[in-house]
Chains A and B, each alone.
Chain A
Amino acid sequence: MTKNKLNEEIIFAGFGGQGVLSMGMMLAYAGMLEDREVCWMPSYGPEMRGGTANCIVIVSEESISSPIVTTFDSAVVLNQPSLDKFEPAVRPDGLLIYDSTNIINLPTRDDITIVPVAASAEAVKMENKRIMNMIVLGALLEVKPVVTVESVIEALRKVLPERHHKLLPLNEKAIRRGMELAQAASTVETE
């Protein structure tokens, strides 16, 4: 309890339809379940799908004055335009996690931690492309345990209608798989 007070400001960004907004909402919801102050601010284009989408999530031990943030402790990006846009917005010593399946131009900064996760490819292997976002969220939680996996599962249980509860084990599996991938990626980096 001697460490600095938790105040994590994260941007999740990608295409509409990738589960960017719901991934952020699950983190915010889990934060609320852990008695944190939370804030989820969505931003997207006028298109129903395919446009750019992002959300800023703040999880804090103190009351959040402004939901508007321009630099971030962590960026979680799922496509090239988001990587190009938000790599420069990560604070020094911050974290950048990206879905490496969709990236051609790699990030270049050396003052932040960069964790590539082949989440889309992994989701295909797991035979459900829609759990890609949970794989990435798992990767984030491995590197930065802002909330526990249990809280995220509990959040999913509360948010999903009961008829979808059969998908909870798959989501948990995806989160755990994301954690393994992030662990592997981090290990490679330090060698």
Chain B
Amino acid sequence: MHDVQSIVRIRSGNQMVAEGALRAGCKFFAGYPITPASGIYKTMIDTLPGKGGVALSAPDEISALAYCVGASLRGQKAMTATSGPGWALMTETVQYALMTETPVVIATVQRLGPSTGGATQNAQGDVLFVENCTSGGYTIPVFTPSNPIECYELTHIAFTWSELLRTPVVVMLDKEVGMTSEDVNYMDIHDLTTLSRQRTSMSGNGMDKNIDTYYFENPEDVPSFVPVGGEIKSTVTGSAHNKAGRLQKNSPETLEVLYHLQKKIDANANQMELVKRDIEEGARTLIVSYGITARTAREAVRRLRKNGEKVSWLNVLSLFPVPENKLRNSLHGIERIVIPEENFGGQYRSVIENVFDDQDVVGVNKIGSMITPDEIIAKVV
């Protein structure tokens, strides 16, 4: 897409999510427009059909994600985009995708909640809502970009993990990240390798060939994909099932499948860790941020250093699974951790607090208006 030298364009985060998806080989998009995520919807509707894909306006968010799951079960890379109110409707299908091991990427652009909330106001209040949407508490991988280039790269990476692990993956923006436009030099985008799900090597002959749709040797292995409607029979259900995909109550094999759904994520958690670090020797404070507050944090760091003060900064790009190793490796000499979030409870702080040893963990939290660099600086020691 960008093999021409040094292309500079004005792009919003939303547009770059769509472009990252196209680069990853997304061939199916279904969505229902919603502020502040409509930029993704519009870009996909405008461009995907011209690239040999299908882009659909769904009648609602429930159908939108269900269409995507259907396309993915058939073997196509699929994505939808929404915001908090749409995510609420999608949670049933997110779980279905997880249970049926169907790769799908969901971009959600946070706005002020609860309910239909404030459509055009920024917030980072969906962190726990997105992560904890499953019965059973399974890990949903979540990536959080803070600028247009990260939107492109992390959407591409979301597709990679979704395909490799056969699980729903979320790219979570906030309104300011999605709707702010900036100059983007396409040469600044890192080299990205596009990967797709492992398909079964078996070849079928009509519908008479039966294999176990969800066969795996070890619990952390990912089953080879058998497309629905192909030559080999594929059995798919959202209910607890054995490796053949057949509904079964508490059999040891069914429980093994239920453990497997989490273990395949856990086994790859280290490799999914993605942060940007700016560590300063001698700093006593580490600012941990994600999304739009990463931008504010960066400005706070710039001002502090301009005044000769030492401070370290870590921007979390892979919110879940929690990048525990990279967080722990950033604590040398650190006495205080400051976590700015545009929600009132300190949602991510509550998740990562126990990763730290005896550091003082403080939040900078508010809703309704953006956290300023000065509010972060006030908490730095």
Contact residues of B: prevailing secondary structure: mixed
| CB–CB B182/A44 < 8 A | no
Give the contacts of B102-142 with A (CB-CB under 8 A).
118-120
| CB–CB A42/B182 < 8 A | no
Q: How far is the CA of A43 from the CA of B176 in the complex (A)?
A: 9
Q: How far is the CA of A100 from the CA of B295 in the complex (A)?
A: 36
| Contact size range, A | 20 to 34
Given contacts A25-B181, A40-B10, A41-B179, contact A68 B120 (CB under 8 A): no
Complex contacts, A81 vs chain B, CB 8 Å = none
The stretch from B153-161, B240-248, B296-304 touching chain A is B296-304
| CB–CB A70/B183 < 8 A | no
Given contacts A32-B8, A38-B10, A44-B120, contact A64 B292 (CB under 8 A): no
| CB–CB B372/A68 < 8 A | yes
Complex contacts, B299 vs chain A, CB 8 Å = 65-66, 68
| CB–CB A66/B373 < 8 A | yes
Shortest distance from the beta carbon of B56 to any chain A beta carbon, whole Å? 24
Among B118, B181, B302, contact of A40 (Cβ-Cβ < 8 Å): B181
**Taking the complex as formed, is A39 at the interface, i.e. its CB lies under 8 A from any CB of chain B?**
yes
Minimal Cβ-Cβ distance residue in B for A62: B302
Among B35, B176, B182, contact of A68 (Cβ-Cβ < 8 Å): B176
Q: How far is the CA of A27 from the CA of B315 in the complex (A)?
A: 30
| CB–CB A64/B120 < 8 A | no
Q: How far is the CA of A44 from the CA of B118 in the complex (A)?
A: 11
Complex contacts, A145 vs chain B, CB 8 Å = none
Binary contact track A6-38/B, C-beta < 8 Å → 1, others 0: 000000000000000000010011011001111
Complex contacts, A37 vs chain B, CB 8 Å = 182-183
Among B8, B118, B181, contact of A46 (Cβ-Cβ < 8 Å): B118
Q: How far is the CA of A31 from the CA of B119 in the complex (A)?
A: 29
Among B176, B183, B296, B373, contact of A32 (Cβ-Cβ < 8 Å): B183
Minimal Cβ-Cβ distance residue in A for B122: A43
Complex contacts, B370 vs chain A, CB 8 Å = 68
**Taking the complex as formed, is B218 at the interface, i.e. its CB lies under 8 A from any CB of chain A?**
no
Q: How far is the CA of A40 from the CA of B176 in the complex (A)?
A: 10
Complex contacts, A88 vs chain B, CB 8 Å = none
**Taking the complex as formed, is B180 at the interface, i.e. its CB lies under 8 A from any CB of chain A?**
yes
Q: How far is the CA of A66 from the CA of B8 in the complex (A)?
A: 20
**Taking the complex as formed, is A50 at the interface, i.e. its CB lies under 8 A from any CB of chain B?**
no
Q: How far is the CA of A32 from the CA of B9 in the complex (A)?
A: 8
* 6 nearest A-B pairs in the assembled complex, by CB-CB distance: A66-B299, A65-B299, A65-B298, A41-B180, A66-B295, A40-B181
25 pairs, A vs B, C-beta closer than 8 Å: A28-B181, A29-B10, A32-B9, A32-B183, A35-B8, A38-B10, A39-B180, A39-B181, A40-B180, A41-B180, A41-B181, A42-B180, A44-B120, A46-B120, A64-B182, A65-B295, A65-B299, A65-B302, A66-B296, A67-B180, A67-B295, A68-B176, A68-B295, A68-B370, A68-B372
Q: With A38-B182, A68-B372 given, can you name 10 additional A-B contacts, CB distance below 8 Å?
A: A29-B10, A32-B9, A32-B10, A36-B183, A38-B183, A39-B182, A41-B176, A67-B180, A67-B292, A68-B370
